[in-house]
Amino acid sequence: MTRRPIMAGNWKMNNLMNDSASLTLGILDGIKDLNESQMPEVIIAPTFTSLALVSRLIKDSSKIALAAQNCHWENSGAYTGEVTVGMLKDLGCKYIIIGHSERRQYFSETDEMINKKAKSILAGGLLPIICCGETLEQRESGVTDEHIASQIRAALSGLSNEEIAKSVIAYEPIWAIGTGKTCDSAEANRVIAMIRNVVKEISDSSTADSIRILYGGSVKPATIEEQMSMSDIDGALIGGASLKADSFNEIITNSMKVAV
Ligand code: PGA
């Protein structure tokens, strides 16, 4: 089974509209000569306030897909400050990142909320990028696998195999996010293979073979080749290095040096 790799840029809470526009144009320019059939699926996730603008800038390119960084699970109602899946679809989003560790940590998102979001995203015709990951403390106390497995079981609970197969998971060890310390590629691959096995247990082997599982945490142009050479790593969720067109484009082109 060949899974099409994904290179996804998570811009987090950065960029005014002007910055978003120049970054988007820089990415479009950097990938314009790449052969689409050999390219990974490139996804960018600007803030809500830049989505409409970025959506217009990429509308004529089939090489970039748009993602939002969060959503609410209800379809409408009295939820001041929140945004629905339908609103994000209306703006041209294909994906929505959910369960990022920053949202779990600073906004008290629970596994149950993440599961409701996953269901709402899939029901609305979009695709979730579901994040999971352990803290340094959990890693040091040897509960990494158990913790990640429980996050994944909870996030995917009640989804059909077909829905699971088209979802995306991002394994992001919290201690590697924004720290410049990437997780050793073999270890990231081991955890991702473990996640694939959990997916197989709750669905079946063809679903587990289809779902794309990304690595995230200080991915840089210099690390991506080794990461993409691993059997189970299907791409990357990139924070810091996705904020400059040059480094994001270099990550995309370097990832293509690895035969999939
Ligand atoms: P980073 O962020 O690449 O800056 O470590 C990754 C993420 O949080 O998605």
What would the DSSP string read from start to end of 94-114?
EEEEE--HHHHHHS---HHHH
Instruction: State the pLDDT at residue 190.
Output: 98
Instruction: State the pLDDT at residue 1.
Output: 63
Cα-Cα-Cα-Cα dihedral of 209, 254, 22, 57, to 10°? -40
Q: In the chain, what are the domain boundaries?
A: 6-255
Residues 6+ apart with CB under 8 A from 81: none
Residues 6+ apart with CB under 8 A from 211: 3, 164, 165, 166, 167, 168, 169, 196, 199
Residue 202 CA: distances (Å) to CA of 52, 156, 208 = 37, 9, 9
CA of 177 from ligand 1 middle (Å) equals 5
The predicted model gives 217-236 an average pLDDT of 97
Which residue of the set 100, 102, 109, 134 is catalytic? Answer: 100
Task: Match 């979009």 to its residue by tokens.
Answer: 126
CA of 175 from ligand 1 middle (Å) equals 10
What would the DSSP string read from start to end of 56-76?
HHHTT-SSEEEEES---SSSS
Check whether 130 has a pLDDT greater than 90: yes
6-255 — its CATH code?
A: 3.20.20.70
What would the DSSP string read from start to end of 209-225?
HHSEEEEESS--TTTHH
Instruction: State the pLDDT at residue 2.
Output: 87
- Is pTM beyond 0.85 here? yes
Q: What mean pLDDT value characterizes the chain?
A: 97
Check whether 260 has a pLDDT greater than 70: no
Token code pair at residue 61: 């390119």
Q: Which residues line ligand 1 (CB under 6 A)?
A: 10, 172, 177-178, 216-219, 237-241
Main-chain phi, psi angles of 168, to 5 degrees: -125, 140
Which residue of the set 102, 134, 163, 172 is catalytic? Answer: 172
The predicted model gives 113-134 an average pLDDT of 98
**pLDDT tens profile 175-193:** 999 999 889 999 999 999 9
The predicted model gives 15-22 an average pLDDT of 98
